[in-house]
A and B are shown apart, each in its own frame.
Chain A
Amino acid sequence: MALVGRTATWWARLRSPRPAAAPLCLPPWRPAGLAAGGRLYSSRGREKLDMSMYPVESIRNFSIIAHVDHGKSTLADRLLEITGTIAKTDYNKQVLDKLQVERERGITVKAQSASLFYNHEGVNYLLNLIDTPGIQAQTVANFYLAFEAQLTIIPVINKIDLKNADPERVEKQIEKLFDIPADECVRISAKQGTNVEKVLQKVIEKIPPPQCNTADPLKALVFDSTFDHYRGVIANIALFGGEIQKGHKIVSAHTKKRYEVNEVGILTPNEQPTHKLYAGQVGYVIAGMKEVTEAQIGDTLFFYKQPVEPLPGFKSAKPMVFAGMYPVDQTEYNNLKSALERLTLNDSSVTVHRDSSLALGAGWRLGFLGLLHMEVFNQRLEQEYNMSVILTAPTVPYKAVLSSAKLIKEYGKKEITIINPAQFPDKLSVSEYLEPTVLGTIVTPHEYIGKIISLCQDCRAVQKDMLYMDEHRVMLKYLFPLNEIVVDFYDALKSLSSGYASFDYEDAGYQAADLIKMDILLNGNPVEELATIIHNDKAYTTGKLICERLKDAIPRQLFEIAIQAAIGKKIIARETLKAYRKNVVAKCYGGDITRRMKLLKRQAEGKKLMRKIGNVEVPRDAFIRVLKRQNDK
């Protein structure tokens, strides 16, 4: 499968055992006369900052990782306030969430970073905070990843202001699950600001400074990029060695292209130009790049004539949910194309692949990190680009291990990926079909266990583990076929647990599956647009559903219409649309027939647009009605 992926999750791999020993100094933009600890606004247009005042030992780079809705962004707000990066007002809510959709939904979509300045025990520190996308960072899974990467972890327990808060219980759970002693946890209320300063102090105490040297040649990691209409590409960078300033000639390890630096600076969280950036620091560079593809995430920048060993690449986060996206009308195709291009410039975690459907025309198959990601993306399309689209139910990338020599030669390999039902190879040519799976982790209060287990069984999931975290909560691990959870599993889970159950998942490879291709027939003729690949166990229910939806979407005709779902020659579901017995206006013609003629002519026009399958006339929007994601339950 050829997917254009530019996904990345960034793991801070900076650490150093060297002790801190920095000269006393004030943050560079404070005018003389104000005592340390006072609060100020950061603003653009002020003099450039002098970053040389922050040697490596005074730098701490950290991220906040947490589950959706746990309050990362609120914590980030408080940290920004405490450090004077922004003024403390009642209006600071999710300051780092600049997108409308982020603010509406209360989630972070695009990771923003901010450099904070903080004085602790007489030393001025530069703290670089990266706010992580809430869609992707999941506590448990990511804890283990961070642990494996040997990163320092500071556990923070938030929302202690809530009535039902029980921090002691949570500390015990943390001890049990992660082996971290309870006394290392910091209990805070980000909303009220309680104890948030302690977090900063712990960051300074516990997290080691980055391990790098300004004397080394320039080595900068690109961890994000945005496109600004006027200034070009702004690449977010972390310096692993050396220094960078305006006028420097730099090279991209990936593209080998050469650029001249126009501007460097830090993010507070807005762009704040500085004279230079030094090793261990995090900020941005503008260097005359025109396309975002020139600043690939994971790329290394170095000095022209001083090449360095490129930094290890990124582990791309695989898209897990796919959806077909089509313009409502083919005339809108180009508009949608440019909207998608621009939106994915700044959301590199969406994978885009051109696709087409007989029913809906030319479109795309998009890959998202999750259902929420997809919904947010759709919302951004509507709000920021004014585009309405047809979203079809997500399909997952199935695989088949071919056994036919002819096909193996044709494809060039033995194991192929199938996204489109038209590509589904016949059973006879295949030794095994495979479906993608995920290992899902569900944490729930024990009273919902029964219903949840039922739900998982309905989704063909296999239980792998069950662990009582404490007297009240249970952690369940299930191996799910991916296609069973991509549509509405999460919603179902939430609603039958009154919102208390949480869901977390990670890729778990492929497993053998009894897959079939199901055709839809109208009076015996197949409707190609509606063919689907599904698991044999679910064929009947899906087939029946499609037949029912199609029955509602096709108008009655002069003869009976048999709507059938079939696997090969075997019919597995059927609906019948009866013929019209009477369709003539038998009412009193009190009025002018002008209106009636208009209606008849419109019907005649409609007939021209109808697709004829055998002798059955099918309106174009019938496919849309059958294929689109249904929100009704």
Chain B
Amino acid sequence: WPYCRKRCSYCNFNKYVVPAVDESAVGACLVQEARTLLRLSQVQSITSVFFGGGTPSLASPRTIAAVLEAVAGAAHLPASAEVTLEANPSSASPARLAGFRAAGINRLSIGVQSLDDAELRLLGREHTAAEARGAVEAARRLFPGRTSIDLLFGLPGQSQDAWARGLAAALGLCDDHISLYQLTLERGTALAAQVWGGTLPAPPQDLLADMYQTACTMLVAAGFRHYEVSNFARKGALSTHNLSYWRAEQYIGVGPGAHGRFVPWGEGGRSREARVQTLEPDAWMQEVQSRGHGTRRRVVLSPLEQLEELLALGLRTDEGVTHERWGQFSPQLSLEAVFGEPGEAQDLQQQGWLLLDGGGLRCSVRGLALLDSLLPDLLCQLQR
């Protein structure tokens, strides 16, 4: 759902702020595209559905229900499938959330970002800390054990102490899943302009490293499993949807700017493709209406490219890339064959950043924080 009521100062996603949204038209297109692409992929069974955006909680429960019905009509959607909705505290009243639950949502991800009002203003958020608290509490009542919150660190001018305090407050409030993101200044955003223009201070690299470190320590101490670079879960409350993304499983993107990775068997395709839907909502709608879907770009991924993606994504998780998973993409060449020989991977192992054993290939705890320094070397080795 690409629409928002307001632009946050740091966001560079594919979002649109429009005075009036023709919800039924958009909804109808989502339904149509979902049906078309499901047929194209010939997928039998769905493991998870994720409503992202924009601000999906601005869509009405009726639209959500319609999409889920369409999915269930085109493939098998078991009751055990994880169905997540991203919500903004300002459109997450208890009544509204109840409506979503009735429509089929069984997991909620709330964009809290911060529990400090000054920080929320800096970020251009639509809500106050109090409103965020209220939303989380309401969500936990409706989706117990299946509520996640998003938090941001590394704000301009944020101190280590302020961050630690903020995280402690969040820990007192949260359910069993936290997504922790470092604020990244993107070209074209208001916040970036302020920092690069000199109006706001840029957070120093070392401080960001410290904040991340502190957060990992605090969360692990509170019983969370650090299962991906930015994601923490306790009591087994991992996000199925995101896991399948990092394990390079198949997923279908529906809606403006959505992306997917699947094999279009329905068209006679035989290889996994990278696809992205048209970004601009009006253009997307026209395409969906005329030919059933608004796929802007589709690129066949070579076996090497697929392995590269698997590596880059898989190493972000604590489980890494398992031998079985690797084998599904590379039946001839095992992980051992590629990374077990003398070379970059072995050097990195010796230095303590990487592990290759019976469980597969993964980063050590220290190595995870430096993944982007390790990946180019590993890609070189893989390419050879």
Contact = CB atoms under 8 A, between A and B. Distances in A.
B150 A607 contact: no
A24 B274 CA distance: 94
Contacts of A604: 375-377, 379-380, 383
Interface stretch (A65-73, A194-202, A578-586): A578-586
Interface residues of A, number: 25
Contacts of B208: 582
B373 A586 contact: no
A557 B373 contact: yes
A584 B315 CA distance: 11
A592 to B, nearest CB: 4
A581 B370 CA distance: 7
A582 B274 CA distance: 29
Interface residues of B, number: 44
A141 interface: no
A583 B312 contact: no
Nearest to A596: B312
Contacts of B316: 584
Contacts, number: 94
A590 interface: yes
Contacts of A588: 150, 179, 181, 230
Contact of B209 (A581, A593, A606, A607): A581
A558 B353 contact: yes
Given A581-B209, A582-B208, A593-B309, A607 B376 contact: yes
B209 A582 contact: yes
A471 to B, nearest CB: 51
B184 to A, nearest CB: 4
A590 B179 CA distance: 13
A597 interface: yes
B354 to A, nearest CB: 11
Q: Which of A603, A604, A607 has the most CB of B within 10 A?
A: A604
Contact of A597 (B13, B312, B377, B383): B312
A597 B382 CA distance: 14
A606 B376 contact: yes
A597 B371 contact: no
Nearest to B179: A588
A561 to B, nearest CB: 13
B376 A592 contact: no
A583 B309 contact: no
B308 interface: yes
A617 to B, nearest CB: 9
A587 B182 contact: yes
A608 interface: yes
B259 A591 contact: yes
B13 A582 contact: no
B80 interface: no
Given A592-B259, A592-B274, A584 B312 contact: no
B371 A584 contact: yes
A601 interface: yes
Contact of B369 (A584, A592, A600, A603): A584
A600 B150 CA distance: 26
Interface in B343-384: 351, 353, 368-373, 375-377, 379-380, 383
Most buried by A among B205, B299, B372, B383: B372
B249 interface: no
A594 B276 contact: yes
B150 A558 contact: no
Nearest to B347: A615
B380 A584 contact: no
Given A582-B209, A592-B259, A607 B308 contact: no
B313 interface: yes
B116 to A, nearest CB: 19
Contacts of B218: none
B228 to A, nearest CB: 10
A584 B229 contact: yes
Contact of B305 (A558, A582, A586, A597): A597
Given A584-B369, A594-B276, A596-B312, A607 B377 contact: yes
B277 to A, nearest CB: 10
B206 interface: yes
A601 B382 CA distance: 11
Contacts of A597: 305, 308-309, 312
A601 B181 contact: no
A590 B377 CA distance: 26
A592 B212 CA distance: 24
B376 A600 contact: yes
Nearest to A582: B209
Contacts of B179: 588
A583 B380 contact: no
Contact of A600 (B183, B351, B379): B379
A558 B373 contact: yes
B92 interface: no
Contacts of B312: 593, 596-597, 600
Contact of B181 (A557, A580, A586, A591): A586
A589 to B, nearest CB: 8
A582 B379 contact: no
B115 interface: no
B147 to A, nearest CB: 17
Nearest to A610: B376
Contacts of A594: 259, 274, 276, 299
Nearest to B305: A597
Contacts of B257: 591
Interface string B200-214: 000001101100110
B47 interface: no
A558 B351 contact: yes
Contacts of A590: 12-14, 52
Interface of A: 557-558, 580-588, 590-594, 596-597, 600-601, 603-604, 606-608
Given A580-B370, A604-B377, 11 more contacts: A581-B213, A583-B370, A584-B369, A590-B13, A591-B13, A592-B274, A593-B312, A597-B305, A603-B375, A607-B377, A608-B380
Interface of B: 12-14, 52, 150, 179-184, 205-206, 208-209, 212-213, 229-230, 257, 259, 274, 276, 299, 305, 308-309, 312-313, 316, 351, 353, 368-373, 375-377, 379-380, 383
19 contacts: A558-B351, A581-B206, A581-B209, A581-B213, A582-B213, A583-B370, A584-B316, A584-B368, A585-B229, A585-B372, A588-B230, A590-B52, A591-B259, A592-B259, A592-B276, A594-B274, A594-B299, A597-B308, A604-B380
